[in-house]
Amino acid sequence: MKKTLTIFLSALVATATAQGQVSIQVHDDAENQPVIPAAIYGQFSEHLGRCIYEGIWVGPDSKIPNKDGYRTDVLKALKDLKIPVLRWPGGCFADEYHWMDGIGPRENRPKLVNNNWGSTIEDNSFGTHEFLNLCEMLGTQPYISGNVGSGTPEELAKWVEYMTAEEGTMAELRKKNGREKPWTVKYLGVGNESWGCGGDMTAQYYSDVYKRYALYARNYAGNRLFKIACGASEDDYEWTKTVMKNAGNRLDGLSLHYYTVPGWDCNKGSATQFGPEEYYNTLTRTAAVDEILAKHTAIMDAYDPDRRVALVLDEWGTWFEVEPGFNPGHLYQQNTMRDAMVAAINLNIFHKHTGRLKMANIAQVVNVLQAMVLTDKEKMVLTPTYHVFRMYAPHMDATYVPASCRCGKIHSSDGREMDDFSWSASRDAKGVLHVSLANPRLEKDVTVELSFDKMKVKSVSGELLRADRIDAYNDFGKAPEVTPVQFKDAKIVSKELPGSSKKKNCVTLTLPAASVVTLEIK
């Protein structure tokens, strides 16, 4: 059986380039390219499991080192990541959250049962002030997800007024609770997954509900809301069509959710115990987001040819089985080098779609699903996904640079295929080119040749992320198994053009199996 499986898995990648060679032509002279919005690197924080409580917030009286209740180790890690936007309070939780329960003296706030996630009892000690103050500390834009499922237009309208108005009844209440100046709140989600946990609505019905709620969410004190309507799950193109047709002129953004699940709900698989077949199934499923983004974009283009409305992928990432011994409703999973590959492939795809895609929020920032950070009491580890986000940071607000690639294909056992190499390039405000490359193949290193339409390369440096095993992860109290290192193997070479005495300037490198690199090229 084992021998048969090995032969089968070898066949999965048989269509890859024979010698493990990849040629990339970087079109660095291309004009009128979109800027990659920093918000593509957004994060998501829900009242789910230990994301907020124990993850971000421990309270000022905790023995765990904290600053005004925020864990100092997590706070530093998130500051270093330069998070551009943070979504809160959900998720499904948002449509049962009543914001007035989370303001005022903490000792007076009512407790609540988190009906969506494990029936956890929460004390509401982390509410509007705690979240918006956190965003200010991190230098990040808050993205508020409003309660449409069980709330009212009045409740959402008063929340917006409480957060952003300078004067009036709600502003006076905010001042009484210790915040004199209004906060700046740009992003407002009008409902979450309204087709499911957020109200079980049809697209037609939700379109009318959206217009009603959005109408009363007003702009105060120069604060202009960017209103995001609930969009589709995965490939539900009819939802996108209906909302764009009925409400497209009334919204600024339309959301989309797409999770990478190796099997489906009944077979998510382990986050840490998997073989090559599960690995390739996971990667081909994540690469399918390319087609999904393209098709939703095409529908939006039909109703909004000027691309005024943003596509917002405000939930994405891997979803595996909960780690043994943890509450099934808390969605706690470890994070391996496989997750790093998923992150890199997704980000490379997102960059291609930023003519329409203006924000993405990975789920979730701490202790939930594909997290950046994991905590265990006073201990904390940075995940492989965290390192990919930090390595890719130079792409934020940089101009997208298109490239063409000659590579092979990977075919997974569930009938999907993807390129057997992933890449993206951008140029920052100083003219420096950054190229991110991911080699998803387990069985071989890849020789890469980067050629340029115009650029004459003078220097190249980089950072590499890899591990000895694809299922390696960083664990508490142990030396990290997945951590970036300086990459010194990229070389500048000059090659003669076929049939010409002219030469072209190239960068060559060998990228190890199952690894990610970001190059800085000047």
Domains of the chain, first to last:
16-32+402-521 (2.60.40.1180), 38-400 (3.20.20.80)
Nearest-angstrom CA–CA distance, 395 and 409 = 26
The residue from 96, 161, 193, 278 that is catalytic is 193
pLDDT in tens, 314-340: 999 999 999 999 999 999 999 999 999
481 is catalytic: no
Please give the DSSP secondary-structure letter assigned to residue 193.
Answer: S
Residue 429, beta-bridge partner list: none
Could you tell me what percentage of the chain is helix, strand and coil, using 3-state DSSP and rounding each to the nearest 5? 30, 30, 45
Query: ∠50-52-57 over CA atoms, to 5°?
Result: 110
Give the C-alpha separation, 398 to 518, whole Å.
Answer: 14
State both tokens at 427.
Answer: 């140029």
In the chain the first and final C-alpha atoms are separated, in Å, by 51
In this prediction, residue 15 carries a pLDDT of 38
Q: Which long-range contacts (CB under 8 A, 24 or more apart) does 2-8 make?
A: 5/277, 8/277, 8/413
Altogether, the residues listed in the chain come to a count of 522
pLDDT at 502: 73
Please name the residue ranges forming H helices in 288-427: 289-303, 337-352, 384-391
91 upstream amide cis, omega within 30 of 0: yes
The per-residue pLDDT for 504 is 79
The secondary structure of residue 94, as a DSSP letter, is G
Tokens coding 124: 């509401």
Q: What is the pLDDT of residue 503?
A: 76
Global pTM value = 0.94
- Residue 266: the pLDDT is 57
Told to judge if 315 belongs to the known catalytic residues of this protein, a careful annotator would answer yes
Low-confidence ranges of the chain (pLDDT < 50): 1-18
Question: What is the rounded distance in angstroms from the CA atom of residue 95 to the CA atom of residue 145?
Answer: 8
User: Which pLDDT score, from 0 to 100, does residue 1 have?
Assistant: 35
The DSSP line for 152-173 is -HHHHHHHHHHHH-SSSHHHHH
Choose, from 46, 315, 321, 449, the residue flagged as catalytic: 315
> Listing from the earlier edge strand, what are the strands of the sheet with 515-521?
399-400, 422-427, 433-439, 515-521, 460-465, 485-487
Q: What is the pLDDT of residue 498?
A: 67
